């Protein structure tokens, strides 16, 4: 099914006889989803862009690349730096903004400026009963009623099919500069990244690759400011070694290229940075990568393991991004939270037909 | 303002309720005498008052859970309360409710500088969160003007913003986790010191839910290292359209100031009398602040001053010292107080697309003449969050109603031009009946469905946010 308008979509959902598998570009296929394909790519196009107000509104099927191009022409960008999953997952297709919103997809800059959910100003969607609903709007500050924008962001389509999103955008930057430290073990690297993040020098990316023992720091902004902050941070980090300027490939970090051609399952783990090194030591992973100053761990594991067992009581959660794993795709929730989640699903998708099973 | 008829049954069982509450709380934590419940009869929207049936001041999450369990069993509505500074009547009691105040719960539970968070009890005031970490060079970014008094509890419930949110975002962007007690007494942990939700973003919908989904007792908040420095400039213009253009030009130029604040002539005049900040008398005044090291500030301000000059300012003043910076902010910070000195006022809070600023200001000026009430405008221009202050005389028959009618017209205008009813103060009772202007019935149904899940009996702050007719069926059930 390929709806061309919101009313089309509402009708299709109301008439649906069974589960629907919602796809934007189909590049972020995670979880086990069943049902007839509901292809959102025909609902596309930027409906409003006001550079002076830092806002952009686009239909859900609009390609991320198209949006980025439009923004770049005005020297602006999507600051949360959405990851492109194609390399890691071996998928094809065109990533859409609806998919970014549904999966709350962010990149390395998340640690400095916030996640996709923090830039979402408004949504339009059709719920599982075929009701057309809007929430939020196109202005940057809005507390009118409940924030269903956040609830829909990261809900993987299970509460409704997004048809349009409005986003806060930010100015692009004049200069980007990267520094690296070499030879740190995981625990020390995380200490160094924390030191950078708790400095006033505004790093906009902090990642560590244990396979080469390289720790990366990114600075962005006006040239003079970038140079100053990089120099000051170098001084602050001197106890960890001499930071040197480098040509870090932040796209490769964002998209976890390192695991693309390796066999095995890929997990995405969200933890408190200071827990990260101790946690990875007990995961039994083949390889790991740290982003977000250690707050995000990418782990490559032999097929068919459930990392959650190894995580034990560590606060945080793990999601299976690629492979078969074992057990649910998403981290099991404590009973009272699971009850709220189930209650919300029952309200928004009473027939349980939207991306059924994707978030379990 | 219409409020639901209080339940006679609940009121008739007051004694029983009070004695059950005293079984789970210390004696002085249950306030039931009218001489004392009066202290809770209103919040910052003082035009509306109603003493609650009783008030409780629990000291921890377990006590909150015990209170809610009793109220749930006895079908008693509960209105959570932080510091009572809401400007929307969010904490306004009903005669049949228990006010659950978290003011006693003001401790710091944990600070972690490596992972950059602080965990506090939610009765703690906004400013004292920063107070707890500033000796280490950190701060908590959201800074509502009421920050000396308002509590994190209310900030989370209202998703409060502040002058610096252009750069740092509002409460929801700085909140990592909460401990929350559901109406039936169940305690849930949502989020925590890690980033991003594991499943649905429940934290995102709890923030801004105006005390209707649960009572938030503890919160994990992001803390940031303070910038090396900050410096404001003050600009005066002959006309607000030009000032609006300056704002757009600055944003388009790729600098991101931490704050862009706007004041119009009536506000400037009032604050000058009150605070003598040395503001120029003009139609539109902007305060633009940037942050960083001295060199960075110089570079950013050079760009901003260039833009400002191109539009022929009547005044352009860069703070040369901490003292001058404080003076530039002085007037802005005392604007509400100053307006309060000359009159009673109602503070609106609609947000509009920045591009509509000149048009909306012009229309507000016209409405001011039509209704015969003065209006001052002071607001966060960078994000379009307006604060028209409508002046009225509370002692004059019909003036409040006139003021409310004009307020409603202004808010409708905000929605018409693509904005919303409230940018940071919340809906409460104040904008409740205007929700139909912004939302279609299906939009409101979807929001109310969320409340159905968290609070099936609709006992938590039930008469707020949703138009009474829209929520009627649910509230009586
Ligand atoms: C002079 C002045 C200036 C202001 N400036 C700003 C500003 O710049 N920006 C801004 O955003 N706001 C501003 N406000 C509005 C107000 O201060 C904020 O809304 C604030 O967050 C309210 O906090 P509070 O603790 O006083 O909450 P209260 O007024 O006590 O309650 C507000 C809401 O929160 C709910 N609530 C309270 N505690 C809990 C809890 N534990 N769990 C769940 N729900 C709870 C209440 O039921 C109510 O709905 C201003 C107010 C004044 C008087």
Do B121 and B207 sit in the same domain of this protein?
A: yes
Element (H, E) at B375: strand B375-380
Quick check: is B1 in a domain? no
The Cβ of residue A235 has, within 10 Å, a number of other Cβ atoms equal to 8
Share of chain A above pLDDT 90, in %: 91
pLDDT of residue A241: 97
Give the containing element (helix H, strand E) for B303.
helix B294-310
Contact call for B424 and A53, based on CB within 8 A:
no
For residue B331, being part of any structural domain is answered with: yes
Does A32 score more than 90 pLDDT? no
Residues 6+ apart with CB under 8 A from B50: B3, B41, B42, B92, B93, B94, B95
Domain-embedded: residue B423? no
Q: Which two tokens stand for residue A5?
A: 């308008």
What DSSP designation does B6 have?
A: P
pLDDT of A179 > 90? The answer is yes
Q: In Å, how far is B422's CA from the nearest CA of chain A?
A: 5
Identify which of B200, B422, B423 has the shortest CB distance to residue A344. B200
Full residue range of the structural domain in which residue B315 is found: 229-336
Domain end, chosen from B66, B101, B136, is at: B101
Two structure tokens written together for A337: 């939270």
Taken as a whole, chain B contains a residue count of: 477
CB proximity list for B23: less than 8 A, separation 6 or greater: none
Rounded to the nearest 10°, the torsion over CA A31, A34, A35, A38 is 10
Rounded to the nearest angstrom, the distance between the alpha carbon of A117 and the centre of ligand 1 is 23
Residue in B94, B157, B187, B213 to alter for ligand 1 test, most ligand atoms within 8 A of Cβ: B157
B235, B308: one domain: yes
* Residue B291 and residue B373 share a domain: no
Question: How do residues A62-102 score in pLDDT, each as one tens digit?
Answer: 999 999 999 999 999 999 999 999 999 999 999 999 999 99
Q: Compute the distance between CA of residue B101 and CA of residue B59 in angstroms, rounded to an integer.
A: 10
Domains of chain A: 6-171 (3.30.465.10), 175-254 (3.30.70.100)
Predicted confidence (pLDDT) at residue A168 exceeds the cutoff of 80: yes
Per-residue pLDDT at B477:
59
This model's pTM is above 0.95: yes
Alpha helices in B96-224 (DSSP H): 126-133, 152-158, 165-168, 202-206
Helix (H) or strand (E) holding A308: helix A307-311
Decide if B249 is inside a domain.
Answer: yes
Contact across the interface for A140 and B385, Cβ inside 8 Å: yes
Do B239 and B303 fall into the same domain? Answer: yes
Give, in order, the Cα–Cα distances in Å from B10 to each of B2, B22, B458: 20, 17, 15
Q: What is the pLDDT of residue B435?
A: 98
Domain stop point among B275, B305, B336: B336
- Whether B425 maps to a domain, the answer reads no
* Domain identity same for B288 and B308: yes
Residue A325, pLDDT > 80, answer no
Q: What is the pLDDT of residues A185-208, one digit of tens each?
A: 999 999 999 999 999 999 999 999
CA distance to A319, B81, B168, per residue, from B44 (Å): 44, 12, 26
Say if B307 falls within a structural domain. Answer: yes
CATH number reported for the structural domain that contains residue B400 in this entry? 3.30.70.2740
ipTM of model over 0.90: yes
Domain final residue, candidates B194, B225, B256: B225
Contact residues, B window 38-57, toward A, CB-based 8 Å cutoff: none
pLDDT in tens, chain B (477 residues): 889 999 999 999 999 999 999 999 999 999 999 999 999 999 999 999 999 999 999 999 999 999 999 999 999 999 999 999 999 999 999 999 999 999 999 999 999 999 999 999 999 999 999 999 999 999 999 999 899 999 999 999 999 998 888 899 999 999 999 999 999 999 999 999 999 888 999 999 999 999 999 999 999 999 999 999 999 999 999 988 899 899 989 988 888 899 999 999 989 998 988 888 899 999 999 999 999 988 889 989 999 999 999 999 999 999 999 999 999 998 888 888 888 888 889 999 999 998 898 899 999 999 999 999 999 999 888 889 999 999 999 899 999 999 999 999 999 999 999 999 999 999 999 999 999 999 999 999 999 999 999 999 999 999 999 999 999 999 975
Question: B245 and B276 share a domain?
Answer: yes
Q: Which of A13, A101, A118, A143 to mutate to test the interface with B (most CBs of B within 10 A)?
A: A143
Give residue A149's pLDDT: 98
Instruction: Tell me, yes or no, if B158 comes closer than 8 A to chain A by beta carbon.
Output: yes
Q: How far does the CA of residue A342 sit from the closest CA of chain B (Å)?
A: 9
- In angstroms, the CA A93 to CA A95 distance is 7
Cβ-based contacts under 8 A for chains A and B: 255
Binning pLDDT at 50, 70 and 90, where does residue A357 land? confident
- For residue B292, list chain A residues with Cβ-Cβ distance below 8 A: 225
Residue of B nearest to A348 (CA): B446
pLDDT at B108: 98
pLDDT at B275: 86
Q: What is the CATH number of the domain that holds B20?
A: 3.30.43.10
Same structural domain, B33 and B81: yes
B81 close to B101: Cβ distance less than 8 angstroms: yes
Provide, as residue numbers in chain A, all residues whose Cβ is less than 8 Å from the Cβ of B424: 141, 143
Provide the CB-side half-sphere exposure for A310 (13 A, CA).
18
Closest ligand 1 atom to residue B171 Cα is 11
B388-392 and B344-347 strand pairing = antiparallel
CB A208 within 8 A of CB A186: yes
Asked, for residue B421, whether it belongs to a domain, the answer is no
Task: Lowest mean pLDDT of A178-182, A222-226, B12-16, name the range.
Answer: A222-226
| Residue B2 falls inside a structural domain | no
Q: Which of B339, B403, B419 is nearest to B367 (CA)?
A: B403
d(CA A52, CA A69): 17
CATH number of the domain that B270 lies in? Answer: 3.30.70.2190
Q: Give yes or no for B11 touching A (CB within 8 A).
A: no
Q: Structurally, how many domains does chain B consist of?
A: 5
Instruction: Report the alpha-carbon distance of residue A159 to residue A164 in Å, rounded.
Output: 15
**pLDDT at residue number A46:** 98
Residue nearest to ligand 1 atom 37, measured at CA: B81
Which residue's CA lies nearest to atom 50 of ligand 1? B146
- Asked if pLDDT for residue A334 goes beyond 80, the answer is yes
Inter-chain residue contact B293 with A225, CB threshold 8 Å = yes
Question: DSSP label at B55?
Answer: E
pLDDT band at A212 (very low <50, low <70, confident <90, very high): very high
């Amino acid at each position: 099914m390929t709806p061309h308008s919101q009313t089309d979509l509402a009708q299709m959902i109301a008439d649906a006889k069974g589960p629907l598998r919602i796809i934007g570009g189909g590049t972020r296929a995670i979880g086990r989803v069943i049902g007839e394909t509901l292809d959102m790519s025909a609902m596309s196009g930027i409906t409003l862009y006001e550079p002076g107000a830092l806002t952009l509104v686009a239909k859900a099927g609009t390609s991320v690349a198209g949006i980025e191009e439009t923004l770049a022409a005005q020297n602006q960008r999507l600051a949360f730096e959405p990851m492109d999953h194609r390399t890691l997952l071996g998928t094809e297709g065109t990533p859409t903004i609806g998919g970014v919103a549904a999966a709350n997809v962010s990149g390395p800059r998340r640690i400095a400026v916030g996640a996709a959910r923090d830039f979402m100003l408004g949504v339009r969607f059709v719920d599982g009963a075929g009701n057309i609903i809007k929430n939020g709007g196109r202005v940057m500050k809005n507390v009118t009623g409940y924030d269903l924008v956040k609830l829909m962001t990261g809900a993987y389509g299970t509460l409704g099919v997004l048809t349009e999103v409005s986003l806060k955008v930010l100015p692009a930057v004049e200069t980007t500069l990267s520094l690296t430290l070499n030879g740190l073990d995981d625990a020390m690297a995380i200490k160094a990244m924390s030191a950078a993040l708790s400095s006033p020098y505004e790093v906009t990316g902090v990642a560590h690759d244990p396979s080469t023992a390289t720790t990366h720091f990114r600075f962005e902004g006006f040239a003079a400011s970038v140079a100053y902050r990089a120099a000051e941070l170098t001084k602050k980090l001197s106890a960890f070694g001499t930071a040197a300027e480098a040509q870090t490939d932040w796209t490769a970090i964002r998209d976890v290229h390192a695991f693309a051609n390796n066999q095995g399952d890929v997990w995405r783990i969200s933890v408190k940075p200071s827990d990260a090194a101790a946690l990875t030591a007990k995961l039994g992973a083949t390889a790991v990568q740290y982003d977000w100053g250690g707050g995000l761990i990418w782990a490559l594991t032999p097929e068919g393991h459930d990392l959650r067992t190894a995580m034990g009581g560590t606060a945080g959660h793990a999601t299976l991004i690629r492979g078969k794993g074992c057990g649910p795709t998403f981290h099991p929730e404590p009973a009272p939270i699971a009850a709220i989640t189930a209650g919300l699903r029952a309200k928004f998708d009473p027939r349980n037909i939207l991306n059924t099973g994707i978030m379990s | 303002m219409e409020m639901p008829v209080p339940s006679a049954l609940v009121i008739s069982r007051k004694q029983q309720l009070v004695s059950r509450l005293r079984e789970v709380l210390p004696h002085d934590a249950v306030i039931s005498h009218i001489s004392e419940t009066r202290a809770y009869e209103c919040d910052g929207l003082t035009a509306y008052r109603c003493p609650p049936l009783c008030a409780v001041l629990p000291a921890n999450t377990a006590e909150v859970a015990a209170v809610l369990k009793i109220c749930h069993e006895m079908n008693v509505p509960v209105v959570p309360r932080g510091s009572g500074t809401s400007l929307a009547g969010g904490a306004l009691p009903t005669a049949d409710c228990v006010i659950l105040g978290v003011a006693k719960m003001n401790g710091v539970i944990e600070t972690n500088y490596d992972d950059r968070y602080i965990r506090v009890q939610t009765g703690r005031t906004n400013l004292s969160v920063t107070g707890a970490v500033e000796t280490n060079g950190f701060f908590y970014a959201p800074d509502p003007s009421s920050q000396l008094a308002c509590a994190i509890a209310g900030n989370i419930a209202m998703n409060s913003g502040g002058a610096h949110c252009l750069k740092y975002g509002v409460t929801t962007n700085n909140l990592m986790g909460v401990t929350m007690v559901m109406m039936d007494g169940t305690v849930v942990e949502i989020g925590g010191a890690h980033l991003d939700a594991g499943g649905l973003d429940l934290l995102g919908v709890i923030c801004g839910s105006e005390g209707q989904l649960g009572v938030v007792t503890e919160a994990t908040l992001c803390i940031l290292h303070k910038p090396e420095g900050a410096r404001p400039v003050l600009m005066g213009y002959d006309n607000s359209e030009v000032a609006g253009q300056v704002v757009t030009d600055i944003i388009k130029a790729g600098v991101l100031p931490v704050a862009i604040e706007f004041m119009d002539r009536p506000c400037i005049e009032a604050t000058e009398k009150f605070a003598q900040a040395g503001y120029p008398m003009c139609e539109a005044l902007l305060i633009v602040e940037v942050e960083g090291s001295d060199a960075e500030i110089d570079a950013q301000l050079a760009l901003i001053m260039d833009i400002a000059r191109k539009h022929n300012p009547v005044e352009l003043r860069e703070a040369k010292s901490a003292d001058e910076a404080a003076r530039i902010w002085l007037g802005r910070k005392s604007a509400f107080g100053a307006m309060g000195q000359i009159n009673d006022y109602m503070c609106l809070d609609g947000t509009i697309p920045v591009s509509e600023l000149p048009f909306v200001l012009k229309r507000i000026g016209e409405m001011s003449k039509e209704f015969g009430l003065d209006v001052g405008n002071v607001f966060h221009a960078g994000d379009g969050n307006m604060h028209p202050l409508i002046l009225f005389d509370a002692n004059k028959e019909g003036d409040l109603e006139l003021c409310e009618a004009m307020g409603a017209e202004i808010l409708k205008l905000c929605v018409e031009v693509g904005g919303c009813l409230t940018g940071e103060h919340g809906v409460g009772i104040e904008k409740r009946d205007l929700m139909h202007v912004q939302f279609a019935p299906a939009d409101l149904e979807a929001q109310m469905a969320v409340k159905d899940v968290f609070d099936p009996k609709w006992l938590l702050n039930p008469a707020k946010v949703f138009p009474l007719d829209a929520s009627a069926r649910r509230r009586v059930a």
